[in-house]
Amino acid sequence: MKRVLPGFGLSLGCTLVYLSLLILLPLSGLAFKSSSLDLSQFWNIASGERALASYRVTFGASLLAAMINAVFGLIVAWVLVRYSFPGKRLLDSLVDLPFALPTAVAGITLATLYAGNGWIGRHLEPIGIKVAFTPLGIVVALTFISLPFVVRTLQPVIEDIEPEIEEAAASLGASRLQTFLRVIFPGIFPALLTGFTLAFSRAIGEYGSVIFIAGNMPLISEITPLLIISKLEQYDVVGATALACVMLVISFVLLLGVNALQWWTANRHHGTERVSL
């Protein structure tokens, strides 16, 4: 059979070379640069009070933003797929706005809206909710930039679910909640987990939109990417690479765990389908 692409050997070689130049080589340079530190020096930089606080802010806010988008992104995707209403195409296109909008513009806009005198902030601060220049502002920014990953991952999966399945469940006496939990959710869960992973990964590395709304106060609202930039501005390249290595390892472990859960869920789902057949 004549193949469109070259043979396996050439294709695999191109793949390995491309990934090496794009990913492996820069990561190797990062590890090589940080290797100039001995173990105690590396540990002192990576476990400093300011560094630990930045880890908590970065990963905590990213996790919270991804969880929020997992819930509301599912609702948005469901509405866009299952319902017809005026302005649907406009709403669907707005989902991609965080992709097209420069992150700095997004950060300035969010900071303006949620500041004490902003359109939204002026109504929140009187009731004790301060968003701009707080860790809550970081969550808002990360939620904004990571929403499309969940919605766009779920939409094609929801489109493949036939409405007749829900009708069959209803005819058998299942309530709406039972239909969702036992019929719909098992089918969309792998895609939801994928969207959650993508949103979480995107939020961890976000910088531009966060620095304008976070306040950037050390030990309170300072993210790790900002701390790395601060060290680079002080010509502490080795310290910056040490923090970057920590971020890389933690991110890799978290993503590996999520991907393992996704693999286990998909295999379990396929196994259940084979048993039912």
Confidence of residue 277 (pLDDT cuts 50, 70, 90): very low
User: How many C-alpha atoms does 198 have within 13 Å on its Cβ side?
Assistant: 19
Flag whether pLDDT at 151 surpasses 80. Answer: yes
Flag whether pLDDT at 274 surpasses 60. Answer: no
Flag whether pLDDT at 276 surpasses 60. Answer: no
Flag whether pLDDT at 61 surpasses 90. Answer: yes
pLDDT at 269: 58
Residue with tokens 């794009």, as numbered in its chain? 22
Q: Which domains does the chain have, with CATH numbers?
A: 58-224 (1.10.3720.10)
Flag whether pLDDT at 139 surpasses 80. Answer: yes
The pTM is what? 0.86
Rounded-to-integer distance, Cα 202 and Cα 167, Å: 37
Q: What is the mean pLDDT of the chain?
A: 86
Cα distances (Å, whole numbers) of residue 210 to 81, 129, 195, 204, 215: 31, 18, 21, 11, 9
Which has more pLDDT, 9 or 24?
A: 24
Find the mean pLDDT for residues 245-255: 86
Rounded-to-integer distance, Cα 199 and Cα 193, Å: 10
pLDDT at 182: 85
Q: 229-249 burial, b for 16+ CB within 10 Å, e for fewer?
A: ebbeeeeeebbbbbbbbbbee
pLDDT digits (tens, 9 = 90+) for 66-123: 999 999 999 999 999 988 889 899 999 999 999 888 888 999 999 999 998 889 999 9
pLDDT at 275: 47
pLDDT at 7: 66
Rounded-to-integer distance, Cα 226 and Cα 222, Å: 7
Q: Find out whether 69 and 143 touch, Cβ atoms under 8 Å.
A: yes
Percent of the chain with pLDDT over 90: 40
Q: Find out whether 54 and 227 touch, Cβ atoms under 8 Å.
A: yes
Chain CA centroid to CA 256, Å: 14
Find the mean pLDDT for residues 191-214: 90
pLDDT at 272: 55
Confidence of residue 264 (pLDDT cuts 50, 70, 90): confident
Rounded-to-integer distance, Cα 225 and Cα 219, Å: 14
Find the mean pLDDT for residues 228-232: 90
Rounded-to-integer distance, Cα 226 and Cα 51, Å: 11
Confidence of residue 5 (pLDDT cuts 50, 70, 90): low
